[in-house]
Amino acid sequence: MAATITISTDFGLTDGYVAAMKGAILTVNPSAQIVDITHHISPQNTKEAAFILGTVYRYFPTGTIHLIIVDPGVGSRRKAIILRTPIADFIAPDNGILSYVIGDFARNAGRKIPETLQAVAITNMKYWRAPVSRTFHGRDIFAPVAAHLSLGVPLAEFGAPITSINTFPLPVPRLSPKGVLIGEIVHIDSFGNLITDITEQDLPHGTPNFEICGNTIRGLSQAYRESKALLAIIGSSGYLEIALNEGNAAAFLRAQIGSEIRVTVISNNK
């Protein structure tokens, strides 16, 4: 079956690790349509992987299987899990990497898996590659499980149901006592655009004023090209972004993951 399987890792593309996973998938399902999401997650950075996955998965065909292998606990007792949602399946170590996905289906779900979803702990070795190496479950467990799942093997075949998984608290902007909306930078993309945790719905009514790293931006732009200076814009994933047209906002502002952004409303008499 021509099911789509995506792969996200922190393996880089210099070695053959990603290719070995693809080989393991194709050995089980030669017709799988394999798509790379990214292999350049910073080593062991599960939060970065969680964010990128969260911005991408909904653009794939319904039923896509997403493999996410950022796995500092490989070989330890951390669980390997499959999470089934109405739009996609996710196969990953149980280390918080699915926090944004869980958050999309139930705000403040915490560790509890929302009732509309299903999950299992992967324990049935029948669907693994043998022998299983100590350091590369991506190739020996996750990849073949994804391939068997893509062939229609029922979820329950892979292991027993679970009702909770590890998640981390998603960053959300807060309102100060004085009415200032305070968010933070959660991702910096390769253009240097600063992606915040503030959505369009979070923004106050009126013309917003943004303060970040000692700079001020007045109003929202509708296109990068509208300004040659810093600009604020609602980015492609629905989050407020700070960008520098034809430049690198992160470098210009010396901004980092976690840098604060403050939003107020410009009063009419200004």
Whether the Cβ atoms of residue 265 and residue 203 lie closer than 8 Å to each other: no
* CB neighbour list of residue 183: distance below 8 Å, 6 or more residues apart: 171, 173, 196, 197, 198, 202, 240, 260, 261, 263
Whether the Cβ atoms of residue 111 and residue 165 lie closer than 8 Å to each other: yes
Residue 180 CB, shortest distance to a second copy, in Å, is: 25
Pick between residue 201 and residue 223 the one whose CB is nearest to a second copy: 223
Helices (H), the chain: 17-28, 46-56, 99-105, 137, 143-150, 249-253
Q: Answer yes or no whether residue 244 interacts with a second copy by CB under 8 A.
A: no
Residue 161 CB, shortest distance to a second copy, in Å, is: 26
The whole-angstrom separation of Cα 110 and Cα 263 is 28
The whole-angstrom separation of Cα 237 and Cα 56 is 8
Stretch that binds a second copy, among 1-9, 93-101, 153-161, 169-177 (CB under 8 A): 1-9
Q: Answer yes or no whether residue 191 interacts with a second copy by CB under 8 A.
A: yes
Terminal C-alpha separation, the chain: 62
Pick between residue 190 and residue 269 the one whose CB is nearest to a second copy: 190
Q: Which of residues 46-85 bind a second copy (CB under 8 A)?
A: 52-53, 55-57, 59-61, 64, 72-76
Q: Answer yes or no whether residue 207 interacts with a second copy by CB under 8 A.
A: no
The whole-angstrom separation of Cα 25 and Cα 143 is 5
Give the one residue of 124, 224, 227, 262 binding a second copy; rule: CB under 8 A. 224
Q: Answer yes or no whether residue 241 interacts with a second copy by CB under 8 A.
A: yes
Stretch that binds a second copy, among 19-27, 149-157, 161-169, 211-219 (CB under 8 A): 19-27
Element (H, E) at 68: strand 64-69
Number of residues in contact with a second copy, rule: CB under 8 A?
Answer: 64
Contact set with a second copy (CB under 8 A)? 2, 4, 6, 11-17, 19-20, 22-24, 26-27, 30-31, 33-40, 43-44, 52-53, 55-57, 59-61, 64, 72-76, 133-136, 139-140, 189-191, 222-226, 233-236, 241, 245-246
